[in-house]
Copies of this chain bind each other. A is one copy, B any other.
Amino acid sequence: MDTLAPKGGETPFLKDEELRQGIEMMFYAYRDFTAEPDVILTRFGFGRAHHRVIYFVGRYPGMTVSSLLGILQITKQSLNRVLGQLVREGFILQKTGVEDRRQRLLELTDKGRSLEMELTANQRERFARAYRDAGDDAVAGFRKVILGLMTSDEDRDRFDYDDDAGG
């Protein structure tokens, strides 16, 4: 980094600068957040898409293909290439649903759980360090803001958030 200075050094409008910093912080944080798992994944011939599938199946054992599609927001064709690979290679198990036999309930095998743990360990440590260094109040603020960045309440509701909404 050499002669780099953000444009508008005289802060003609503080708000814009503040918001742009938000945009950039998201970029840098996400870039670093995914970098190390990506390295592990290449050892298995997998990519980031595999990570996401493994992560969410580990998180919600017995989840359906539909709900996974709803979370990832990709097409079933895109998912199926990745998911099929994980099933064929023994990382994920599909069980026919009991109530609705059309469903294929997904869960990790031991092999899958092992990879999930290795991948997630890094990201957990990253958050543990950031949370510890920032302190509890900062963490509460972080959660408030990042939940506010999401588009849908459906996603926000996955987290126990206490907005002023709760009467």
Contacts and interface: CB of A to CB of B under 8 A. Distances in A.
Contacts of A158: 6, 24, 28
A20 B159 CA distance: 10
Given A60-B6, A141-B140, A28 B150 contact: yes
A130 B154 contact: no
The majority secondary structure among interface residues of chain A is helix
A137 interface: yes
Given A23-B120, A138-B145, A150-B28, A131 B59 contact: no
Number of copies: 2
Contact of A59 (B6, B60, B62, B123): B6
Interface stretch (A30-38, A39-47, A78-86, A87-95): A30-38
Nearest to A160: B21
A158 B135 CA distance: 22
Nearest to A156: B28
Contact of A130 (B7, B130, B148): B148
**Interface band, chain A:** 35 or more
Of residues A20, A58, A144, A147, which shows the largest number of chain B Cβ atoms within 10 Å of its Cβ?
A: A144
A146 B19 contact: no
Interface in A121-157: 123-124, 126-131, 133-135, 137-152, 154-155
Given A134-B145, A137-B141, 8 more contacts: A1-B154, A23-B124, A29-B146, A30-B30, A32-B151, A130-B148, A138-B145, A142-B142
Interface of A: 1-7, 15-16, 18-33, 35, 52, 55, 58-64, 67, 70, 73, 120, 123-124, 126-131, 133-135, 137-152, 154-155, 158-159
